[in-house]
Amino acid sequence: GDVVQAGLTGVLDNGPINSGSPPTTDYRLHPTEPVSITRVNARTDAPTDVGGRLRVASFNVLNYFNGDGQGGGFPTSRGADTPEEFGRQRTKIITALLAMDADIVGLMEIENDGYDQYSAIQDLVNGLNAASGATTYAFIDPGVPQIGTDEIAVGLIYKPATVAPVGSAAILNSTFDPGFIDTLNRPALAQTFVERATGERFTVVVNHLKSKGSSCSFVGDPDTGDGQGNCNLTRTRAMTVEVNWLATDPTNSGDPDFLIIGDLNAYAMEDPITVAKNAGYTNLIQQYMGMEAYSYIFDGMSGYLDHALANPSLSAQVTGATEWHINADEPSVIDYNTEHKLQDLYAPTAFRSSDHDPVVVGLNLVNQTALTVTKTVTPTTDVSPGGVVTYTIVVRNNGTARANGVLLTDTLPVEVDFDTWVVRGSAQPPVPTNDVITWGPWSVAAGDGYTVTFRALVTTSVAYEATVTNTVQFASLDAGSGTSDGAVFTIESEPPVEVRSIFMPVVVRNH
């Protein structure tokens, strides 16, 4: 991130330049005179604006372990060693999350210790709310004691003021498909949310796939030397299963919009990302940040393991995506740890709060349903008083998303009375009350529809040449409301008065 000016003077040697096993060997210059350095990637206090009404973030919180949740339980198995270290870590993580100001955040590497008052995720939400307001954030409780068997898990927090969870969360593990090895990959967590301002829905899926740090040879997945590291096949199979799982709408959202986020432990051009792209998902970091994007640095090499992948219907509603470089560019010497530091450079800021940079996505959700309701009548002319007409109502969803809670109401005009059903739709409607007929609520899938047909008797008192108009009102949870066009018929003309001629014989008498 920094630029060294030309004119260096020093000693050149060749040797190990990283901590790999075996280490990489290359040339290094040891300056013997002062070096002029120019910073070209200045720190920012917040992520780049991604636009949109909603922001979704993905953040690896680097082993956020809160001990026993009551001030004890340190050292933890993977996170802070002391209460002091945890306090420093907690401050940095909370500072970063508050600056992101996301409506939904997918978390990785949070302690997998459940969801009670002493859990790590409850502790994090408590800290956020203490700093920003008592009910600013809440977390998703998936209704299980733990997600998977690993010491770390994924999680979801959200702002109840802007979004609300719809239904229950869903968990992807090997139960759905053994190809998703949940003893290596952390189980994925999916939750559908509704935007309070618009009523629009979408589903967020947070992931943490198997790392490259240890071998998967024992499941037939060795490092093949192709540059993708250990366990590439394990990650690729997991992503294959995930896109298939999402195609089943695991949260029963009835909405086609899906956003995959998280630490996939795969770089942009590796097989797991290719699987998602081949399934129609857009790599939002690649789209908005380009080929130079990075969120993680390993042994001096940069790339991004932290992703945001949107399916086709959602990608059209994305307004931007960015990485906030608060960690990858920063030296580990400024992190929360206290050991092995001759000088404590810690500061209660977001910088080096983790080792991964967070990802932020902007969304403007739009209604993708297109509900139409038409009503017709036969015959349309020369209907006799006391005759019969047939009404047909057709409901169609011509959009790309399911229309939920569709309700039809038909108030018959005074000139007709309900007679008999011909086609009742998907359910048995009640007998009309005061000539008001109601159907639903229905859930109408994209491209699907229902037809309702019934007969009505024309009253004998209807005026000749009268025009009778009937409409049907419709309402729904997420596809709006309205009124169909009128179904119109006319009564026949009054028959002419019959005039009969009577011929009487004329008798003339002669006197």
Cα distance between residue 353 and residue 156, in whole Å: 18
User: What pLDDT was estimated at residue 429?
Assistant: 62
83-92, 371-380, 388-397, 452-461, range with greatest mean pLDDT = 83-92
Cα distance between residue 177 and residue 253, in whole Å: 21
User: What pLDDT was estimated at residue 457?
Assistant: 94
Q: CA angle, 31 as apex, 27 and 35 as ends, to 5°?
A: 120
CATH H-level, domain 54-356: superfamily? Endonuclease/exonuclease/phosphatase (3.60.10.10)
User: What pLDDT was estimated at residue 446?
Assistant: 81
Q: Quick one: residue 173, left, alpha or beta (phi over 0 = left, psi -120 to 50 = alpha)?
A: beta
Mean pLDDT taken over the chain: 93
E strand segments, 241-370 = 258-263, 282-283, 296-298, 301-303, 306-310, 318-323, 359-363
Split at pLDDT 50, 70, 90, the class of 37 is confident
- pLDDT at residue 497 is higher than 90: no
pLDDT digits (tens, 9 = 90+) for 347-364: 999 999 999 999 999 999
**Residue 473, SS3 per DSSP:** strand
| CA-closest candidate to residue 419, choices 394, 382, 390, 377 | 390
Its CATH class, for the domain covering 371-490, is: mainly beta
How many alpha carbons lie under 13 Å from residue 224 in its C-beta half-sphere?
Answer: 8
- pLDDT at residue 39 is higher than 90: no
Cα distance between residue 473 and residue 71, in whole Å: 60
User: What pLDDT was estimated at residue 425?
Assistant: 67
Structure tokens, 153? 């898990």
Instruction: Say which residues have a Cβ less than 8 Å from residue 330's Cβ, sequence separation at least 6.
Output: 351, 352
DSSP for 232-248, written as a single string: HHHHHHHHHHHHHHHTT
Structure-derived torsion over alpha carbons of residues 411, 412, 418, 424, reported in degrees to the nearest 10:
-50
- pLDDT at residue 243 is higher than 80: yes
What secondary structure letter does DSSP report for 140? -
**Bigger pLDDT: 256 or 51?**
51
pLDDT digits (tens, 9 = 90+) for 306-339: 999 999 999 999 999 999 999 999 999 999 999 9
Exposed, middle or buried by CB within 10 Å (0-12, 13-18, 19+), for 135? Answer: exposed
Q: CA angle, 427 as apex, 424 and 431 as ends, to 5°?
A: 65
Cα distance between residue 266 and residue 285, in whole Å: 13
Split at pLDDT 50, 70, 90, the class of 508 is low
Q: What does the domain layout of the chain look like in residue ranges?
A: 2-39, 54-356, 371-490
Question: At 91, which helix (H) or strand (E)?
Answer: helix 83-100
* Phi then psi dihedrals of residue 131, to 5 deg: -90, -25
Cα distance between residue 134 and residue 307, in whole Å: 31
Question: At 378, which helix (H) or strand (E)?
Answer: strand 371-378
Average pLDDT over residues 108-116: 98
User: What pLDDT was estimated at residue 226?
Assistant: 97
* Phi then psi dihedrals of residue 271, to 5 deg: -60, -45
Cα distance between residue 167 and residue 140, in whole Å: 11
- pLDDT at residue 154 is higher than 70: yes
- pLDDT at residue 427 is higher than 60: no
Instruction: Say which residues have a Cβ less than 8 Å from residue 56's Cβ, sequence separation at least 6.
Output: 102, 103, 104, 105, 106, 204, 259, 261, 308, 360, 361, 363
Q: CA angle, 57 as apex, 55 and 62 as ends, to 5°?
A: 160
E strand segments, 94-240 = 104-111, 138-139, 152-158, 163-172, 186-195, 201-208
Cα distance between residue 437 and residue 473, in whole Å: 11
Strand 282-283 relative to strand 306-310, pairing: antiparallel
| CA-closest candidate to residue 171, choices 192, 187, 194 | 187
| CA-closest candidate to residue 56, choices 306, 272, 243 | 306
E strand segments, 23-151 = 25-31, 37-39, 54-64, 104-111, 138-139
Average pLDDT over residues 198-206: 95
Cα distance between residue 373 and residue 138, in whole Å: 40
Cα distance between residue 24 and residue 19, in whole Å: 8
Cα distance between residue 28 and residue 14, in whole Å: 6
Question: At 93, which helix (H) or strand (E)?
Answer: helix 83-100
Q: State the CB neighbour count (10 A cutoff) for residue 258.
A: 26
